Structure 1
Amino acid sequence: MKIAVMGGTGLIGSQVVKILRAAGHDALPHSQSTGVDLLTGQGLAEALKDADVVVNLTNSPTFDDASPAFFQTTMDNLLTAAERAGVGHAVILSIVGVDLVPDLAYYRAKVLQEDILKAGPVPYSIVRATQFFEFIGAVMSWTADENTVRLPSSALQPMAAADVAQAVADVSAGVPLQGIRNVAGPDVFPLDELGRITLAAQGDQRTVTTDDSAGMFAATPSGVLIAPQDAVIAPTSYRDWLAR
């Protein structure tokens, strides 16, 4: 199959392209650096020519109230171009529990992206993943100083970016789900405990203080950031990933 991967040079996209190519597919990475801009529509027609599948892994440059406009525009442009090109399957990457956190602007924006895809003209699949191991350091930095990291006790079930990419590739190479596949890591951690594990593995002497008002994930209701019962559980554990 010919598969166009938007955001195909990023953390997840580059790995998706590699996995699909190894499986024998003609997977092509597209991004602003290759001349494709979903915000303006530049390069879309050429990128989608003869494509069987389009995978959209682009992301809003901000996580605030500007993010809905990004997803509205990029999805409208992508689906219009995909329909014209006769693409038979559109795939996006979203977040486990995204529709259960209305207080977060970025989560509302991702729900909008999902809704646009569902209502659009192209058969679709949505892959919802839990938080990436690779982003735990950034999450900790939001509420850290030189001595202390403040983190809520919100339960997370994070997963490796490589496992996310595998899940996206598997769905992209299959028939449209016309629905959602949830994927998650094998272990559940309170975020404050995850912080302590991370600092210990890095030899970082800072202290983690439990603060259930700290950071973005303090706004999430209990249990929404962990795998629902139908989720596919990825193999890589956080401690094994840290050890590498």
Structure 2
Amino acid sequence: MKIVIIGGSGLIGSKLAVLLRQAGHEVVAASPSTGVNTLTGEGLREALAGARIVVDVANSPSFADEPALHFFDTAGRNLLAAEAEAGVAHHIALSVVGTDRLLASGYFRAKQRQEELIEASPVPWTIVQATQFFEFVAGIADGSVRDGEVRLSNALIQPMSADDVAAALAVVVGESPARSRIEIAGPEAVPLDALVRRLFAATGDNRPVVTDAEASYFGVQLDDRSLTPGTGPRLGTTRFADWLAQRARA
């Protein structure tokens, strides 16, 4: 079966491509570097010819409000129109747990637009909402520096490894379109500030982490529901401590 991965050269897309090829699928890892650009439409028709499933894991190159909205709106419209023309049977999109609770952020408003476009499309769909990745925790810390301190909320977060995200998407590829959202998350919920302290302890980062319940997360005030899934999520198996140990060995 031919499967096209939009964003196929990125963190999740490259891992997913390996899993799907190992399962015997014909995989097209589509990205601007391979001549497929969802913003301009370049190469889309050729890439989607004969495709049964499209998995969209592409992300906006900018988290700023207007560029992110432009990316997800324009790319989403172009991709879904091309899929409808090509007769794609299942559109799978990677989104974020809590998108509808994080709309104070322009980036998450853009992700919400992406989800709305998918829901309105004639192409059968599944939206997979994932919690934050272990690989992004350092970036969250760097974005929370104020006057030399890393100021973070102690709201709960339930992050997961990129490997587990790719594995969960590979499972959804083998399922019928849900026409709904599926939540995926890591095996444990921990306070955000404590998570970053664990990372710093493992990496020797001496920056002070200050617990601040009012600290924003990309412009959003957090509570324990903001970054955690609802009931019945599909859980990955990799714990943060194990992921840190794997990185140390590597």
Tell me the TM-score range normalised by the shorter chain: over 0.9
Q: CA deviation at 1:50?
A: 0.2
Secondary structure in 2 matching 1:125: strand
Gaps of 5+ in 2: none
Residue 39 of structure 1 is matched in structure 2 by 39
Residue 185 of structure 1 is matched in structure 2 by 186
For residues 139-164 of structure 1, the C-alpha deviation after alignment (integer angstroms, 9 at most, x for no partner) is: 00112379532211121000000000
Contact 1:101 1:221 survives alignment (8 Å): no
Matched, 1:131 2:144: no
For residues 54-94 of structure 1, the C-alpha deviation after alignment (integer angstroms, 9 at most, x for no partner) is: 11111111112211221111111011111111111111000
Contact 1:13 1:165 survives alignment (8 Å): yes
Gaps of 5+ in 1: none
Residue 55 of structure 1 is matched in structure 2 by 55
Residue 229 of structure 2 is matched in structure 1 by 227
Matched, 1:10 2:4: no
Contact 2:153 2:222 survives alignment (8 Å): no
Task: Report the TM-score when normalising by structure 2.
Answer: 0.93
140-149 or 19-28, larger mean C-alpha shift: 140-149
Q: Name the aligned partner's letter for residue 52 of structure 1.
A: R
Distance in 2 (CA, whole Å) between partners of 1:223 and 1:184 is 13
Contact 1:132 1:161 survives alignment (8 Å): yes
Distance in 2 (CA, whole Å) between partners of 1:186 and 1:167 is 13
Matched, 1:30 2:30: yes
Residue 69 of structure 1 is matched in structure 2 by 70
Distance in 1 (CA, whole Å) between partners of 2:59 and 2:118 is 15
Distance in 2 (CA, whole Å) between partners of 1:230 and 1:145 is 37
Q: CA deviation at 1:168?
A: 1.2
For residues 148-203 of structure 1, the C-alpha deviation after alignment (integer angstroms, 9 at most, x for no partner) is: 32211121000000000111121123211111110000111111111111111112
Distance in 1 (CA, whole Å) between partners of 2:77 and 2:23 is 30
112-121 or 195-204, larger mean C-alpha shift: 195-204
**What's the C-alpha RMSD, in Å, of the aligned pairs?**
1.4
Residue 240 of structure 2 is matched in structure 1 by 238
Distance in 1 (CA, whole Å) between partners of 2:114 and 2:229 is 21
Q: CA deviation at 1:205?
A: 2.3
Matched, 1:92 2:89: no
Distance in 2 (CA, whole Å) between partners of 1:206 and 1:68 is 33
Q: CA deviation at 1:214?
A: 2.9
Distance in 1 (CA, whole Å) between partners of 2:58 and 2:143 is 23
Q: CA deviation at 1:108?
A: 1.1
Alignment of structure 1 residues 98-109 onto 2, 5 Å: 98-109=99-110
Q: Alignment length, in residue pairs?
A: 244
Secondary structure in 1 matching 2:65: coil
Task: Report the TM-score when normalising by structure 1.
Answer: 0.96
Identity of aligned residues (%): 45
Contact 1:134 1:161 survives alignment (8 Å): yes
Distance in 2 (CA, whole Å) between partners of 1:164 and 1:147 is 33
Secondary structure in 1 matching 2:17: helix
For residues 90-144 of structure 1, the C-alpha deviation after alignment (integer angstroms, 9 at most, x for no partner) is: 1100011111122111111111101100110100011000000000000001123
